[in-house]
Chains A and B, each alone.
Chain A
Amino acid sequence: MINRSIFVLTLMGLSPFVMAASTDSYELSITNHRFEPAELIIPANTRVKLVVHNRDNSPEEFESHTLHREKIIGPNQSGVINIGPLPAGEYEFVGEFHEDTARGRIVVQ
């Protein structure tokens, strides 16, 4: 009984690492200062990787206030943004350098 709970506790303790190894990744691209797709659906309470490909010839800053994320992605470069685990909801993000066109959101469900 004790052995078993130690085993379960160990598993729980290790789970973040195991989860990190099998993280799903989602792709997002920036073209002409617009996100494609502009809406992304990800599962709740799960760690995911967002790979943002900047296909423009100018740098962009991926910024999400609600997600506490900001990252500059160089021209024709890709950047990885770790997201989650998040509760269900909608999380907006923008490209800070072209905020009038570069907008999108992540729907967590």
Chain B
Amino acid sequence: MLGTAIIIFREVLEAALIVGLVLAVTRGVDGRLRWVGIGIGGGILGAGLLALVADSISPLADGMGQEIINATILFFAVIMLSWHLLWMRKHAAEITQKVNQVGQAVSRGDKEPIILALIIGLAILREGSEAVLFLYGLAAAGSNSSELLLGASMGILGGIVAGSILYFGIARIPVGKLFQVSGWLILLLTAGLASQAVSYLVQADLLPAMGYAVWDSSFLISERSIAGHVLHILIGYVDHPMGIQVMTYSLTIGLLVAVMYVMSQQQAKTRS
């Protein structure tokens, strides 16, 4: 039972931390709870469906179907998060002002809430489908169903607790500083997911690894430790990264920072 709980916790953690992070940095976006709900519901539904068709996906693309699906989901999440980051940057001043006017939320005819729902849905979709497959396997192997249910619930609860800790941690940041901090958090999360996506493409033999361990910092923080695992999810920490992961990570950050810089230059120009 404890073993089940730990595996489910590991699978749920990524989704829970991303939901916690997105919720924390979008305080002040109107009607976000409804969209977050839709994202969570859609993600769980999608995870179940993806688990259901897993056996038919795997043989596709010369046996690399699973890798390509994973990379696609991750790249899609990267695009949505980049969009969100740039949107936040564009509306930062406005949102900060409104949040400060206690309880006044930003309302606008923007696509932003849909993007939020998609980011959350995608996070749950990928890891959730693995959790479903794992539980299905245990059930099929004839595990005691009440123990199974208890183990799974404990794992999910653990994930929710971790997500909440992150949420309240970020929520303590004063609104004035929130945009700087959350901008960096989203930026690193995005770069980390891009590097994960690329790793799947290497596995599918579509990209070269360019070295399997550019460095090895596992003696410092092992990716298998809890701290390492959390860092892996949040900022894309890899204790012995492939060359192409380092390149992708840096390139993602470089590109997004460059676009944000150009945006702020333009805003400064229109103001003056």
Interface residues of A (CB under 8 A from B): 20, 56-61, 65-75, 77, 79-82, 86-87, 96-97, 100
Contact = CB atoms under 8 A, between A and B. Distances in A.
Contact of B212 (A57, A67, A82): A67
A77 B58 CA distance: 9
Given A65-B224, A69-B203, A79-B58, A59 B134 contact: yes
Interface string B211-251: 01100000000011000000000000000101000000000
Contacts, number: 65
Nearest to B134: A97
Secondary structure at the B interface, as helix, strand, loop or mixed, is helix
Contact of A57 (B54, B66, B141, B224): B141
Q: How large is the interface on B (under 10, 10 to 19, 20 to 34, 35 or more residues)?
A: 20 to 34
A80 B63 contact: yes
A86 B212 contact: yes
A80 B13 CA distance: 27
Interface in B25-76: 54-55, 58, 62-64, 66-67
A68 B199 contact: yes
A73 to B, nearest CB: 8
Nearest to A76: B55
A33 to B, nearest CB: 9
Given A57-B141, A58-B141, A86-B212, A71 B67 contact: yes
Contacts of B133: 59, 72, 74
B14 interface: no
Interface in B159-218: 199, 202-205, 209, 212-213
Nearest to B218: A65
B87 interface: no
Contacts of A65: 223-224
Contacts of A67: 212
B261 interface: no
Contacts of A81: 203
B138 interface: yes
Contacts of B154: none
Given A20-B205, A59-B136, A74 B55 contact: yes
